[in-house]
């Protein structure tokens, strides 16, 4: 990389006040989209280097179309034929979005004056970018090293997010399927569990693809000074929701299509059970209260059905179906927050094999409890011995976030997510939302994630949602969304000084969401070993009649 050598010359101001245009021959193609360039000037008597990002590149000198008539004849040869022997012929007009000079306190300060025409433009050196693009260096407290600057060679300019940014004002990772969002999330989690961060992390994992994070335990890259991260996988069988942590809205969500009368009965019963038992109610007490009906008759046996109102019976049947047939709901057991959230521990809550509505209830109750626990802890309402005392800030990473805060529906999770997104920073609760369909994600939810990691997005609806919800990414970078490759990400917001395009680093642990190679699996069926195995399994005693290997034939003959 040429350092301090001009690569172009300023032509003049750009279309907008914070843009300028320079012209460069750029024979080595150093000036890529998203590349950082700078010019030198004096601002209020102090020499400054004004950094900018390349946002457009237009060729000024193109061969005439007629020179391109025969693909076997390069246009250079035609030009040479005409006496044009001057190389290089290419010249580009390059638009730069001005970021400004970097001030450690203020961040980037825009001088608000474009450079004069003729000002030499230089490519920013790797060292300069390492210093100004990120707030932290690798290995520093709060440093999340996710990869390196895309426009430079791998690892030349490490990009380190500031965990303080997204653990207070939240994180969003959005990308199409197969763009590497789970991989990036894995990298972020690895970094959060490094010795310099030792975070308390909870991962909501609907596809059970994060269990490979267990590789961190005992991995030499993660241990230091006697510290070793702990990874706790909570399987679906171990997930329990104490029914007393359900709110009326949760119950109504679990019991769809109730009649008006049933809704009323349920509301009455819920109000009574809360009044009489506080947070100690269970399925039995709820059913008793439902059975009391609208008149509040005295009932002690939850199973007594006597000559009750048919609506009451139907409601009790429905409540029993949902709360008693599921292994999730329990009268006593609950996920213990103190063991779920602990510094230096990553807890993966696997929600696969659990129906969608129950997944949403689990997430809603858990987020509510975490938020309440942190509020109570911060305000001194709980002591370390209490069940719901969380002494440290918590970070909750939610996969498939559009299932918990969809755009055109109000789920049980939407409210608590919005509450955490707006108030969580005061109490040390932050969320990271991962979604492959930003178009289906609530725009308020997305816009409140102040650190955004945006990967390849092709769907125009998703692109539009990102454009309207993510303010910190400029139009020029959003235009790059379709051109990004797997593992390339645009990072913007509170955790970096300016939006950057990043090549995500290699994970230290295995990736748990690799695609299945179906053709390879199919061809295994015809491997010699598989054929031999089948022949052996189908073999009959020598004196028996030959047996067809076709199961359908065997079935019908």
**Pairing verdict, β 19-24 and 92-103:** antiparallel
For residue 6, the minimal CB distance to other proteins (Å) is: 13
For residue 21, the minimal CB distance to other proteins (Å) is: 18
In what helix (H) or strand (E) does residue 492 lie, and over which residues does it extend? strand 488-493
Q: Which of residues 23 and 56 has its CB atom nearest to other proteins in the complex?
A: 23
Query: Residue 526 phi/psi, 5° resolution?
Result: -100, 10
Q: Which of residues 86 and 295 has its CB atom nearest to other proteins in the complex?
A: 86
Q: In residues, how long is the chain?
A: 557
Site string for other proteins, 43-62 (x = CB under 8 A): ------------------x-
Q: Which of residues 82 and 516 has its CB atom nearest to other proteins in the complex?
A: 82
- In the region spanning residues 73 to 102, those forming contacts with other proteins, defined by CB under 8 A, are 78-79, 82-86, 89
Q: Which of residues 86 and 475 has its CB atom nearest to other proteins in the complex?
A: 86
Structure tokens at 485: 């490759």
Q: How many Cα atoms sit within 13 Å of 272 on the Cβ side?
A: 20
For residue 11, the minimal CB distance to other proteins (Å) is: 14
For residue 68, the minimal CB distance to other proteins (Å) is: 10
Check binding of 66 to other proteins (CB under 8 A).
yes
Check binding of 5 to other proteins (CB under 8 A).
no
Check binding of 23 to other proteins (CB under 8 A).
no
- For residues 161 and 113, the answer to whether their CB atoms sit within 8 Å is no
- H-state helical runs in 292-340: 310-325, 337-340
Distance CA 99, CA 492 (A): 13
For residue 90, the minimal CB distance to other proteins (Å) is: 11
Chosen residue from 15, 28, 44, 65 binding other proteins by CB under 8 A: 65
Q: Which of residues 63 and 108 has its CB atom nearest to other proteins in the complex?
A: 63
Chosen residue from 63, 108, 264, 392 binding other proteins by CB under 8 A: 63
Query: Tokens 């300023």 label which residue?
Result: 10
Query: Tokens 């008693």 label which residue?
Result: 324
For residue 84, the minimal CB distance to other proteins (Å) is: 4
Check binding of 67 to other proteins (CB under 8 A).
yes
Paired residues of 93 in beta bridges = 23, 58
For residue 81, the minimal CB distance to other proteins (Å) is: 9
Residue 459 CA from chain centroid, whole number: 17
Structure tokens at 433: 């939302």
For residue 455, the minimal CB distance to other proteins (Å) is: 41
For residue 75, the minimal CB distance to other proteins (Å) is: 9
Query: Residue 521 phi/psi, 5° resolution?
Result: -65, -40
Q: Which of residues 87 and 553 has its CB atom nearest to other proteins in the complex?
A: 87
Q: Which of residues 82 and 545 has its CB atom nearest to other proteins in the complex?
A: 82
Number of residues near other proteins (by CB under 8 A)? 14
- In the region spanning residues 456 to 485, those forming contacts with other proteins, defined by CB under 8 A, are none
Give the burial string for 7-45 (b: 16+ CB within 10 Å, else e): bbebbebbeeebbbbbbbbbeeebbebbbbbbbebeeee
Paired residues of 20 in beta bridges = 13, 96
- Write the CA distances from 11 to 50, 71, 448, integer angstroms: 16, 34, 39
Q: Which of residues 66 and 544 has its CB atom nearest to other proteins in the complex?
A: 66
Using CB under 8 A, list all residues that contact other proteins: 61, 63-67, 78-79, 82-86, 89
């Amino acid at each position: 990389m040429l350092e301090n050598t001009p690569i172009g010359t300023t032509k003049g101001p750009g279309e907008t006040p914070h843009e300028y245009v320079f012209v460069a021959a750029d024979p080595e193609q150093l000036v890529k989209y998203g590349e950082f360039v700078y010019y030198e000037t004096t601002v209020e008597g102090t020499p400054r280097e004004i950094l900018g990002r390349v946002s457009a590149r237009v060729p000024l000198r193109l061969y005439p179309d007629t020179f391109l008539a025969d693909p076997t004849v390069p246009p250079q040869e035609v030009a040479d034929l005409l006496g044009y022997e001057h190389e290089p012929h290419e010249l580009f007009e390059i638009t730069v979005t001005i970021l400004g000079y970097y001030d450690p306190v203020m961040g980037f300060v825009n001088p608000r004056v474009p450079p004069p025409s003729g000002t030499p433009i230089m490519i920013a050196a790797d060292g300069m970018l390492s210093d100004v693009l990120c707030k932290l260096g690798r290995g520093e407290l709060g440093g999340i090293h996710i990869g390196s600057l895309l426009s430079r060679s791998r690892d030349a300019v490490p990009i380190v997010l500031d965990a303080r940014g997204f653990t207070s004002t939240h994180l969003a990772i959005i990308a199409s399927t197969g763009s590497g969002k789970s991989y990036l999330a894995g990298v972020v989690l690895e970094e959060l569990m490094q010795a310099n961060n030792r975070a308390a992390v909870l991962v909501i994992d609907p596809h059970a693809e994060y269990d490979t994070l267990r590789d961190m335990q005992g991995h030499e890259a993660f241990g230091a000074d006697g510290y070793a991260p702990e990874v706790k996988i909570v399987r679906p069988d171990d997930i329990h929701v104490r029914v007393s942590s359900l709110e009326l809205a949760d119950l109504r969500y679990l019991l769809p299509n109730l009649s008006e009368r049933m809704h009323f009965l349920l509301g009455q019963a819920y109000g009574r059970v809360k009044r009489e038992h506080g947070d100690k109610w269970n399925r039995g007490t709820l059913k008793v209260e439902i059975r009391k009906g609208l008149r509040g008759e005295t009932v002690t046996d939850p199973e007594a059905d006597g000559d009750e109102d048919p609506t009451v019976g139907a409601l009790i049947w429905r409540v029993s179906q949902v709360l008693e047939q599921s292994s999730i709901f329990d009268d006593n057991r609950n996920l213990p927050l103190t063991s779920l959230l602990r510094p230096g521990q990553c807890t993966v809550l696997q929600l696969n094999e659990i129906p969608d509505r129950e997944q949403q209830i689990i997430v809603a109750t858990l987020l509510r409890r975490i938020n309440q626990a942190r509020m109570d802890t911060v305000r001194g309402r709980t002591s370390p011995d209490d069940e719901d005392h969380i002494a440290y800030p918590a970070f909750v990473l939610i996969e498939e976030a559009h299932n918990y805060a969809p755009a055109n529906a109000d789920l049980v999770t939407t409210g608590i997510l919005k509450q955490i997104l707006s108030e969580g920073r005061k109490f040390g609760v932050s969320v990271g939302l991962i979604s492959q369909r930003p178009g289906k994600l609530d725009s308020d939810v997305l816009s409140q994630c102040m650190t955004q990691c945006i990967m390849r997005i092709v769907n125009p609806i998703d692109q539009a949602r990102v454009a309207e919800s993510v303010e910190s990414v400029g139009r020029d970078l959003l235009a790059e969304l379709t051109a990004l490759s797997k593992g390339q990400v645009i990072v913007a917001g509170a955790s970096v000084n300016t939006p950057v395009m990043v090549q995500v680093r290699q994970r230290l642990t295995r990736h748990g969401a690799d695609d299945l190679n179906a053709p390879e699996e199919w061809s295994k069926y015809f491997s010699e070993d598989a054929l031999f195995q089948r022949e052996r399994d189908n073999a009959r005693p020598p004196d028996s009649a030959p047996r067809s290997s076709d199961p359908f034939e065997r079935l019908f003959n």
